[in-house]
Amino acid sequence: MKIEFGGDFIVPRTPDEVYSFLVDPERFCLLLPDYQSMTKHDAKNFSVNLRVGISHIRGNAIVKMTLAEENPVTHARYEGKGDVPSGTATLSAGFHLEPNGSGTKVIWKGESQIGGRLPSLAGGLLQPLAKKNIQKMIDALQKALS
């Protein structure tokens, strides 16, 4: 099952400040819904442990993330792979930053591919829950950068 997401928002911070926040997993991982912990392996690689669940399928997911693309102050993209209860997940999430008056416009997009038994077990609940959690993270990110 493929889930795509994206959007944009404006924050009252400089592109440099926003970029520094978004490429620092020790800062932005705390905003992830159901965050448990994060382990930084080196400057571009980290693992994040999340509590996940839908209906009767619950557990922890450990997602290994890599900062796959970076163009300081304007663009970065993460790639990740992990095991989730009754399935696997791969994801790609990136952002592009543009100066906007005295602030910054953040354009974000990504996709996730969920495999294994999870999509069939979760039925139609998986995509709405994923979109809800993504929006929670974006709302928390906007608040943190305001």
DSSP string, 75-131: EEEEEEEEEETTEEEEEEEEEEEEEETTEEEEEEEEEEEEEETHHHHHGGGHHHHHH
Q: Tokens for 114?
A: 């969920």
Prediction pTM value: 0.88
Q: For residue 34, which amino acid is it?
A: D
- Give pLDDT, residue 58: 76
Q: Which domains does the chain have, with CATH numbers?
A: 2-144 (3.30.530.20)
Gap between the Cα atoms of 38 and 87, Å rounded: 21
Q: What is the C-alpha separation between 66 and 80, in angstroms, rounded?
A: 6
> Which pair of structure tokens corresponds to residue 27?
């800062």
Categorize the per-residue pLDDT at 59 as very low, low, confident or very high, splitting at 50, 70 and 90. confident
User: Predicted confidence band at 78 (pLDDT cuts at 50, 70, 90)?
Assistant: very high
Whether the per-residue pLDDT at 43 is higher than 90: the answer is yes
Structural tokens at position 5: 């997401």
Is-contact 9 142, C-beta < 8 A? yes
